[in-house]
A and B are shown apart, each in its own frame.
Chain A
Amino acid sequence: MFVLLKRIIKSGWTSFSRDPGLMLGTIFIMLIPIASITLFFLVKDTGQSLISSLEEKADISVYFKSDIQETDIFNIKEQLLKIAEVKEVKYISKDLALNEFIQRHEHDPVLMESLEELETTPFLALLNIKAFEASQYELISGFLEKQEFENLIEKIDFYQRKTVIEKIFLLASTTNKVGIGLSIVLAIVAVLVVFNTIRLAIIHREEEIKVQRLVGASNWFIRGPFLVQGAISGIFASIFCFLIFAALCWFLSPKLAILFSDLNIWNYFSSNCLFIILIQLVTGVGLGIISSAIAIRKHLKI
């Protein structure tokens, strides 16, 4: 049993290596769905980690007019905390804000001097609000924009990050949908192409297959090598794909890091490379075997 399996694999490999040109096209075609599936996982995972790191940092800062009493501010804080979406509210008084500023800029004499020249503190008291999810900030800022607070609030600072988060969110969720759809379409195309190549190989070897039967080869001894050929193409396609992605991640990583400071795709790639090659191998070998199996079923009748 084992020796037959070994021979089937060896025979598939021999056919493959004697005519690598035959399968070269299929390897190339298989690269595409494998790449698309890899990209899908890559975007999904890095997008998610990017979003959560941005979400972690996201907040709304409400600056109160300078003549507002602390009690009023605490009152608003109480109300905010009653909103279910609010995760945390932090009060930063004028003095605290000043202290923080001084701490941050104590080595900048120009700033320090100009600060001393001011008679009153230029800082406003503020509430720093964190929500559980990015999408909830809209609701919280809506709450603060109500009429009754209009006289108390100087400004609400939240819009900058919102757009970035929403963009990434949109990107991730569309790549999710488009990625799945596209991967399926490309996989079908690849199956058709590989199927056709194996079909041609079978037709080309029709006479030989008849002879193999006449000298006593069993069905699987004849069919197996074709399956193996499909699988080998898949393995080669996934290895090529892995190398291409490794190169791309390596070169693009610094460039993307400029755009998104929290993103290091090379790190992501290298720490997940086992998972990535596994996905690529499963996809490649799966595609190869499925398409050869269809070709064998249709064209290699018992």
Chain B
Amino acid sequence: MIKFLNITKIYPPDILALKNASLEIKPKEFVLITGKSGAGKTTLLKLILAEEKPNQGEIFFEQQDLSKIRAGDLPHLRRKIGTVFQDYKLLFSKTVYENIAYVMEVMGANENEIKRDVSQILEIVGLENKARSFPAQLSGGERQRTAIARALIHRPDIILADEPTGNLDPYNTSDILRLLLKINGLGTTVILATHDKEIINTLEKRVITLDKGKIVRDEEKGRFIL
């Protein structure tokens, strides 16, 4: 589904974030990306979302070469992806409800569908009573759960979750992980970036370890090793 061929990403002026990275992720896979802070995890996800373009190499999303994607094709690509950003990136002028609904509105879903699905996902992430709050009025964990709800709402083909449980308490964390596993079980590809040892060791999924922009390990049922 996703293929990196010798990808190098350099942020100007000369910060090497990814170096000659190659990997392949198959449909329905659950992949963990780990590595120290600054290793390049977020950069890798940004390349999949075509938020950044590689300096060298090719990235394929299904058949599409993301290093050559045109601006006009970006919305279509991004509607197939659900992203939990490390810094949430909620729309600050919209309420929790509107933030989540926005993703469906963008795709032209009908009003009833939106109402039904958004209330459902709000219940799943436990934010029914925060629907009318603005992001600034939420706790860190509530914002993170809003971001998670927004990433899932439109049933994307693939979910990119960048440290999605960083701000959650242990109960919420295990709820969210269970949710991600369940969605993965229903056929959605999940890429989860984290440096949380617990998560990696309990999930027993494929682990890709980055170090200073290089892929140093790529193991099925990997363990947390830095």
**Chain A interface (Cβ < 8 Å from any Cβ of B):** 3-4, 7, 15, 18, 205, 207-208, 210-219, 221, 302
Other 20 A-B pairs with CB < 8 A, given A215-B83, A215-B106? A3-B110, A15-B93, A205-B93, A208-B91, A208-B93, A210-B89, A211-B90, A212-B102, A214-B49, A214-B51, A214-B85, A214-B89, A215-B78, A215-B102, A216-B76, A216-B78, A216-B81, A217-B102, A218-B106, A219-B75
Question: Does B103 sit at the interface, judged by CB under 8 A?
Answer: yes
Sample 29 A-B pairs with CB under 8 A, ordered by A number.
A3-B108, A3-B110, A3-B111, A15-B93, A207-B89, A207-B92, A208-B91, A208-B93, A210-B89, A212-B91, A212-B106, A213-B78, A214-B49, A214-B78, A214-B83, A214-B89, A215-B78, A215-B83, A216-B74, A216-B75, A216-B76, A216-B77, A216-B81, A216-B103, A216-B107, A217-B75, A218-B106, A221-B106, A302-B71
Q: Which residue of chain A has its CB nearest to the CB of B88?
A: A211
Q: Which residues of A contact B93 (CB under 8 A)?
A: 15, 18, 205, 208
- B142 vs chain A, min Cβ distance (A): 18
Q: Which residues of B contact A7 (CB under 8 A)?
A: 105
Q: Give the CA-CA distance A216 to B107 in the complex, in Å.
A: 8
- B158 vs chain A, min Cβ distance (A): 13
The 5 closest A-B pairs by CB, nearest first: A216-B78, A216-B79, A211-B89, A218-B75, A217-B106
Q: Which residues of B contact A212 (CB under 8 A)?
A: 91, 102, 106
Question: Does B143 sit at the interface, judged by CB under 8 A?
Answer: no
- B118 vs chain A, min Cβ distance (A): 14
Q: Which residues of A contact B78 (CB under 8 A)?
A: 213-216
Question: Does B150 sit at the interface, judged by CB under 8 A?
Answer: yes
Q: Which residues of A contact B106 (CB under 8 A)?
A: 212, 215-218, 221
Q: Give the CA-CA distance A3 to B74 in the complex, in Å.
A: 21
Q: Give the CA-CA distance A134 to B106 in the complex, in Å.
A: 65
Count CB-based A-B contacts (< 8 Å).
54
Secondary structure class of chain A's binding surface, majority of residues: helix
Q: Which residues of A contact B51 (CB under 8 A)?
A: 214
Q: Which residues of A contact B111 (CB under 8 A)?
A: 3
Q: Give the CA-CA distance A169 to B51 in the complex, in Å.
A: 66
Q: Give the CA-CA distance A205 to B108 in the complex, in Å.
A: 23
In the complex the two chains form, is B102's CB within 8 Å of A4's CB?
Answer: no
Q: Mark B99-131, 1 if CB is under 8 A from A, else 0.
A: 000110111101100000000000000000000
Q: Which residue of chain A has its CB nearest to the CB of B89?
A: A211
Q: Which residue of chain A has its CB nearest to the CB of B106?
A: A217
Q: Which residues of A contact B108 (CB under 8 A)?
A: 3-4
- A13 vs chain B, min Cβ distance (A): 13
Q: Which residues of B contact A205 (CB under 8 A)?
A: 93
Interface centre among B71, B75, B85 (most CB of A within 10 A): B75
Q: Give the CA-CA distance A202 to B151 in the complex, in Å.
A: 25
Q: Which residues of B contact A3 (CB under 8 A)?
A: 108, 110-111
Q: Which residue of chain A has its CB nearest to the CB of B79?
A: A216
Within 8 A of A (CB), among B32-52: 49, 51
Q: Which residues of B contact A218 (CB under 8 A)?
A: 75, 106
Q: Which residue of chain A has its CB nearest to the CB of B78?
A: A216
In the complex the two chains form, is B92's CB within 8 Å of A208's CB?
Answer: yes
